[in-house]
Amino acid sequence: MILHLHFILVNSEFNQGIANDLHEGQETEDNIKYLWEDEMQVSGPVKDFKIKNNAIYKLAGYLPDNSMFSYDIWDMTIIECTTESGNQMQFAVSKKLLKKTDKVVDEKSSDTHLYFYLRDALPLENPMNGVYILKSDFPKELMAKNSKS
């Protein structure tokens, strides 16, 4: 199966009533439904995936001076994938950022699309593709100058 992930920031100021009354239900330039969308496809066919709720995500990597860091981020929704070639990867979203989720499977191609709709009222950090952490839960030592929201 091919797995697609969609991370969508919902515009809390979108007014469906205005869209219905004036624009046949469609969004307009001054009444947009989504502020941005990050879409990605897992590289290679996926053998299986699972979604863990209320999980702990380990944010780890290297600082510019090549010293390692590792932080546990609590209350995350984690998508764990295993590709047919055996590669394992994770994608993660802070639970408080999630407005709703959706899963759509294309019957013909068996492509699976996972949609994660994010709240725009809460600031977030996006340290790498497919990882969205509530800014208040993000390690202060790693605060990026340019966050998503």
3-state SS string over 68-87?
Answer: EEEEEEEEEEEEEEEECCCC
C-alpha torsion 69→74→78→83, nearest 10: 30
DSSP state of 13: T
The enclosing H or E element of 18 equals helix 16-23
Which pLDDT does position 145 carry in this prediction? 43
At residue 101, does pLDDT exceed 60? yes
State mean pLDDT over 129-144.
91
Token pair for 104: 């759509």
State pLDDT tens for residues 68-97.
999 999 999 999 999 999 999 999 999 999
